[in-house]
């Protein structure tokens, strides 16, 4: 990139000051606030080079400079040192999440916690059924001709469906069906279950085949065909905390984009879930209405298994080291919770 260490130090100082103050940064302020070890004239020359290279810009005449998307990218890739969370922050995360009573509570606590800690918009995807396995299938008789099918995934997701049976079914037969479907399906990934479900019809006792044929249709719909992804969102009001240079003057396109669930899923990398933390800055976002924002996201899940994504969205003028540390830590705690439960 052709920038020596001194110019990189100047860029780091500009990013840190602009994030902290929301004001364009001048050479005099840099010399006063940072131990750069050079004269104001040298800092001005370095700033001129950084501007020529496209790392900073002057928002209006006789103003200081602000980082560009390219400047933030260089800062994230080469200059930012991820801030370790304090013991108090770690304890706060652990206490807040450990009190969760079920998966819904985990997700809602997580999204609120992320929004509070980062002061950005937080997005958390519920564990995806497409990446889950069957933990248990319960068949609950509602009447002699109606069953409630309850599927519990290893991630804590619960799906319920009603089954209208073709003929009355004794309780003992319901018990037999429950045993057979659990023996066949528990421990398998939901995406691998269709041939197993279809085989069940042939494997049950002849007098149960009518009920199993009807049940298998509902099981296929529950396990495979209805992978409705769910998203939790919090902290939208944090967008209003920005300065006049954030979001190019208008929040409306961002708010409209955040109303679309498919946009939110793209934001947190649903298409390619990964434990690798991603930082997309400004124009790196593929969604037009979000090109004045930055997104920090990662996958989460029990152990090495990634079952969903989470992250935050805010202005490109973001505390990247602090935000990266928080997103990583929260994802790790949520994964540990899922592994324990």
Share of the chain above pLDDT 70, in %: 94
Say how many C-beta atoms besides its own lie within 10 A of residue 28's C-beta: 12
At 154, is the pLDDT very low, low, confident or very high (cuts 50, 70, 90)? confident
**Is 0.75 surpassed by the pTM of this model?**
yes
What is the per-residue pLDDT for 157?
Answer: 81
What is the per-residue pLDDT for 2?
Answer: 64
Query: Are the C-beta atoms of residues 151 and 133 closer than 8 Å to each other?
Result: no
What is the per-residue pLDDT for 116?
Answer: 94
Q: What tokens does 91 get?
A: 């304890």
CA end-to-end distance (rounded Å), the chain: 48
What is the per-residue pLDDT for 249?
Answer: 66
Strand-strand pairing, 134-143 and 121-125? unpaired
More confident of the two residues 99 and 333: 333
Q: Is the pLDDT of residue 274 over 70?
A: no
Q: Is the pLDDT of residue 160 over 80?
A: yes
- Rounded to 10 deg, the angle between the 103-118 and 320-340 helix axes is 170
More confident of the two residues 163 and 62: 163
Q: Is the pLDDT of residue 251 over 90?
A: no
Q: Is the pLDDT of residue 272 over 60?
A: no
What is the per-residue pLDDT for 27?
Answer: 87
Share of the chain above pLDDT 90, in %: 48
What is the DSSP track for 89-111?
HHHHHHHHHHT--SHHHHHHHHH
What is the per-residue pLDDT for 270?
Answer: 55
C-alpha 340/C-alpha 3 separation (Å) is 48
At 224, is the pLDDT very low, low, confident or very high (cuts 50, 70, 90)? confident
Cα-trace Rg, the chain: 26
What is the per-residue pLDDT for 163?
Answer: 92
What is the per-residue pLDDT for 226?
Answer: 58
What is the per-residue pLDDT for 253?
Answer: 86
| Residues paired with 314 in a beta bridge | 294
The length of the chain is 341
At 4, is the pLDDT very low, low, confident or very high (cuts 50, 70, 90)? confident
Q: What is the dihedral of CA 197, 198, 200, 204, to 10 degrees?
A: 150
Q: Which phi and psi (to 5°) does residue 216 adopt?
A: -65, -35
Give residue-wise pLDDT tens across range 308-341: 899 999 999 999 999 999 999 999 999 998 888 6
At 62, is the pLDDT very low, low, confident or very high (cuts 50, 70, 90)? low
C-alpha 318/C-alpha 295 separation (Å) is 10
Query: Are the C-beta atoms of residues 21 and 66 closer than 8 Å to each other?
Result: no
Give residue-wise pLDDT tens across range 276-313: 899 999 999 888 888 889 999 999 988 888 888 999 99
What is the per-residue pLDDT for 36?
Answer: 83
Q: What tokens does 35 get?
A: 């131990």
What is the per-residue pLDDT for 55?
Answer: 96
The order of strands in the sheet holding 134-143 is 134-143, 146-153, 158-164
Q: Is the pLDDT of residue 225 over 70?
A: no
Task: Specify burial of residue 162 (Cβ count, 10 A radius: 0-12, 13-18, 19+).
Answer: exposed
Q: Evaluate the CA torsion angle 264, 270, 275, 278 in order and state its sign.
A: negative
Task: Specify burial of residue 327 (Cβ count, 10 A radius: 0-12, 13-18, 19+).
Answer: buried
Say how many C-beta atoms besides its own lie within 10 A of residue 101's C-beta: 8
Q: Is the pLDDT of residue 271 over 80?
A: no
Q: What tokens does 252 get?
A: 């409306």
């Amino acid at each position: 990139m052709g920038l020596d260490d001194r110019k990189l130090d100047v860029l780091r100082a500009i990013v840190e000051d602009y994030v902290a103050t929301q004001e364009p940064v001048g050479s005099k302020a840099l010399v006063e606030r940072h131990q750069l070890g050079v004269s104001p004239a040298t800092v001005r020359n370095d700033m001129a080079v950084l501007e020529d290279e496209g790392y900073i810009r002057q928002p209006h005449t006789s103003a200081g400079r602000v980082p560009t998307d390219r400047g933030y990218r260089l800062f994230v890739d080469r200059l930012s040192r991820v801030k370790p969370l304090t013991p108090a922050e770690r304890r706060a995360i652990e206490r807040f999440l450990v009190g969760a009573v079920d998966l819904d509570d985990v997700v809602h606590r997580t999204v609120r916690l992320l929004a509070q800690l980062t002061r950005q918009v937080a997005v958390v995807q519920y564990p995806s059924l497409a990446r889950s396995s069957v933990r248990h299938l319960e068949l609950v008789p509602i009447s002699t001709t109606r069953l409630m099918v309850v599927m519990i995934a290893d991630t804590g997701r619960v799906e319920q469906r009603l089954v209208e049976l073709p003929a009355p079914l004794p309780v003992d037969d319901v018990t037999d069906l429950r045993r057979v479907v659990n023996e066949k399906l528990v421990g398998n990934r939901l995406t691998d279950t269709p041939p197993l479900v279809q085989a069940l019809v042939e494997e049950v006792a002849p007098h149960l085949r009518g009920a199993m044929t009807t049940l298998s249709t509902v099981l296929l719909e529950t396990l495979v065909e209805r992978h409705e992804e769910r998203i939790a969102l919090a902290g939208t009001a944090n967008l209003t905390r920005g300065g006049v240079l954030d979001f190019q003057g208008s929040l409306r396109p961002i708010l409209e984009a955040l109303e679309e669930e498919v946009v939110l899923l793209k934001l947190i990398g649903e298409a390619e879930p990964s434990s690798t933390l991603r930082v997309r800055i400004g124009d790196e976002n593929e969604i037009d209405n979000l090109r004045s924002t930055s997104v920090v996201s990662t996958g989460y899940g029990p152990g090495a298994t990634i079952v969903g994504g989470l992250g935050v969205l805010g202005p490109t003028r973001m505390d990247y080291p602090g935000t990266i540390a928080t997103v990583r830590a929260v994802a790790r705690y949520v994964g540990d919770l899922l592994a324990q439960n």
